[in-house]
Amino acid sequence: MTTAVTAPERAGSAPDGTPVHRWVLERAGTRVAVLDYGGILQSVEVPDRDGVRADVVLGFDDVAGYVDCPSPYFGALIGRYANRIAGGAFTLDGRTYRLPRNNGTNCLHGGERGFDKRVWDAEPAADGHGVRLSLVSPDGEEGFPGRLAVSATYALDAGGALRIEYRAVTDAPTVVNLTNHSYWNLGGAGSGRAGGHRLRIAAGHVTPLDGDSVPTGPPAPVAGTRFDFREPREVGSGYDHNFVLDHGTSGASVAAELYDPVSGRVLTVTTTEPGIQLYTGDAFDAGPFGPCEGIALETQHFPDSPNRPDFPSTVLRPGEEFRSVTTYGFGTADDRA
């Protein structure tokens, strides 16, 4: 099947009345819907081992569902800084910047009005295989320095894998950490808890956290702990942790593989990012979805990196370009260990 990128259709309105549109991509058996509100990945339809298609990300039928949801970030693009910045502050080049404390004492996912609450400009991708979203975050927005120009391109490759490419440039030194916050349930959205999925993460270390989900020290080995997913095992529950991927910052490689033994669907996550946040959604209660009905695998830099010089840097300076690529591949397997 050749790539089909449908003309955008009206999907509702943002809280300020701005029109929101839906873009649909289809190729090689994968069908994806993207909203320009929040850059939300609204649906991903793929077949199971018997060829039966289902939507494997949690989401809502209309924009109002996302706006009114008490548990935010479903499927959204996250920025300027994904995950937490401790104390809602960081110092860069000798100057301290104060951010919203929207997660206890921390700044989470870009603050009170992050990229997940913005309507992005949208246009067909240059290669014709996807949609390119872009926005400009002005200097000082949510306390972050620099005028940041950001783009995120969603595209399907020849095999039906979903590729998200993030780019950003700035006119002043700043920090950047971008991700997508989809919740995956390979049994199909609404099929129940996803804790029975089997997960492998290519990570020998995890960042230990305090009670506020802020790293307390250098990465710790996963061997002999409940964080050891180097061999596939059931996900279970109780996770909201950053795993330090073995490939580091050396380039794209497989970060994680998620498998649902009931449907036979397999999700393979490949990324250029050095970390992946596993979140099992234990706490959320969002409309039709209850705790642990979706698994987030957020490719990203580490939490609180702006305050941790020992972590891979998230600093972006004028003349540089932030670039990150994550690919979600889909398939099936009749039997997995």
Please, which pLDDT band fits residue 2 given cuts at 50, 70 and 90? Answer: low
Summarised one tens digit per residue, pLDDT across range 89-120 is 999 999 999 999 999 999 999 999 999 999 99
Active site residues per annotation:
181, 298
| Tokens describing residue 189 | 């959205």
Is residue 178 a contact partner of residue 167, using CB atoms and an 8 Å limit? Answer: no
Please, which pLDDT band fits residue 157 given cuts at 50, 70 and 90? Answer: very high
Reply yes or no on whether the pLDDT at 288 is more than 60: yes
Distances (CA, A) of 87 to 69, 100, 149, 312: 26, 9, 26, 20
Q: In this predicted structure, which of 26-40, 236-250, 256-270 has the lowest mean pLDDT?
A: 236-250
Summarised one tens digit per residue, pLDDT across range 185-204 is 999 988 989 999 999 999 99
CA–CA separation, 98 vs 107, rounded Å? Answer: 9
pLDDT (0 to 100) of residue 129:
84
Is residue 39 a contact partner of residue 76, using CB atoms and an 8 Å limit? Answer: yes
pLDDT (0 to 100) of residue 248:
79
Reply yes or no on whether the pLDDT at 86 is more than 60: yes
Please, which pLDDT band fits residue 159 given cuts at 50, 70 and 90? Answer: very high
Reply yes or no on whether the pLDDT at 69 is more than 60: yes
Q: What is the mean pLDDT of residues 259-265?
A: 97
Q: Which of 284, 282, 278, 283 is nearest to 296 (CA)?
A: 278
- Buried b / exposed e over 61-86, threshold 16 CB at 10 Å, is eebebbbebeebbbbbbbbbbbbbbb
